[in-house]
Chains A and B, each alone.
Chain A
């Protein structure tokens, strides 16, 4: 049985990727399961989707614990423990990461013995804020890596799964996915199916058993206010808004008024400060700043230590 896990952020299309791959497997005569997993969080939050495909009846249910292939649509997710990208990864698992960094860097950084690949590079978009829909390409590469899905089946699966978005979108995605499929030719078959696990070998998930407690103990009343601030939604961000203070006119705090997440406050001198622990990266401030003093940079560049955003 093939067990494949797609990791991404809500809105990046990993649910669609799993559907495309699932359908392509199905067209090749496999029995298939595909399903997305979300928490209560939304667009931008870590999510994953999984696909199981087997020539036999699939009796397994639930999330995949021992993946044969892990596809990561966004490399900023790898260090986010809540995303669980590395969960159950062994030397058998192939990791496919969408990243500008080389596979060797990731292999070394993550200290994993299995194969690590990166998505074949796609030309940088003109507008950095334009969303990159990589679902079809991720599905295309995954299809090539398992080596049992033909170009025709992949094509058919994409056309069917994206049909509701119109012919132009289908064509664009087909082109990207087939190109990726072709580029990965030398890795065809590098993902091999994992063992079937018989029912008697079932292991409980790694959950924590909690004793049943009285409600006053297990769910105490919360008297603190605005506790949501403990949730670091800044991890959702792929692009970071950065303020160029030399251009900030200290207007009527347009950025602060329109920020949906209360993530922009004013300092004593009336300059806005962005709370990067909570900014989800919606870029409303970038679009609305009257003096165009806020621009967007990719989160990786920001983390690499660009000192932008500090007021000197």
Chain B
């Protein structure tokens, strides 16, 4: 692996490629991550966007991108990416575009598509070793339609379709593991609040060939119910509490890129968000809080003892 250009904070981009003026919510954690990612991928990209919040980025005739954009149905962005990649390859082969004019094909979907509806087409694309990047902005629910639960919703969270006193009864799918099990070139988790870690991973992904997939935890003021100004703080707490492990997998080998050695209790993360308010009032749900903490502890226990994996 070649040396990173992102050695320190000061190497992060100070000018930004993604245009302002989009229709996304003030304080959107997904947009923050996308902006950081786009700075590194650059404008020679084709964004293949499945239905979701980020569809609102490009409302004809307005777009924040400096390159092309294709809209697909929710489940089929990787199939759309296949078509674009094939078309580019044919143009290259026929000499109608030069290698310098080639474009990166980048799938952009939310967690509804990535963890659920689009999982099968993603699996197929990885199987065919499609040369593409997949960016999933994961706000842990169907945010565009009012935050119904998705395959990415964490245990206990209140969503508009899990309003009971115990919140969402299911568990967040381990998409990182599902994707990694396909042995693609690269899989990583990022969060906009850890900009340097994100930059290094996108740089690494951009330099590889084949399927490269990124999950960006996207704190969502609207769906998670917190003040927009706390987007970065909540992203950082997700990492510091160990709820969102920052890691990467290259050809199946998993490395944690930022291990929180003194993990904060998960409560520090949960209590900041309205979607977990029912765990703290009218009375503390000790059982559920303990269970959430135990799951995070067990995860890091396995990380420290790889033989358990």
Contact = CB atoms under 8 A, between A and B. Distances in A.
Contacts of A288: 232-233
B22 A233 contact: yes
B229 A283 contact: yes
Given A225-B66, A252-B9, A261-B31, A282 B24 contact: no
A291 to B, nearest CB: 14
A166 B281 contact: yes
Contacts of A277: 20
Contacts of B67: 225
Interface in B174-199: 192-193, 195
B22 A228 contact: yes
Interface in A233-266: 233, 236-237, 251-253, 256-263, 265-266
Interface string B14-40: 111111111111111101100110000
A260 B27 contact: yes
Contacts of A283: 27, 227-229
B246 interface: no
A222 B228 contact: no
A304 interface: no
Q: Which of B8, B20, B36, B282 has the most CB of A within 10 A?
A: B20
Given A44-B26, A129-B229, A166-B282, A253 B12 contact: yes
Interface stretch (B52-60, B97-105, B112-120, B204-212): B52-60
Given A233-B22, A258-B192, A283-B228, A226 B65 contact: yes
A225 B43 contact: yes
Interface in A256-288: 256-263, 265-266, 270, 275, 277-278, 280-284, 286-288
B62 interface: yes
Contacts of B64: 226, 228-229, 262
Interface of B: 8-10, 12-29, 31-32, 35-36, 43, 56-67, 163, 192-193, 195, 221-222, 227-233, 277-278, 281-282
Given A258-B195, A260-B35, A282-B231, A43 B65 contact: no
B292 to A, nearest CB: 20
Contacts of B35: 259-262
Given A168-B281, A286-B229, A287-B232, A42 B23 contact: yes
A42 B20 contact: no
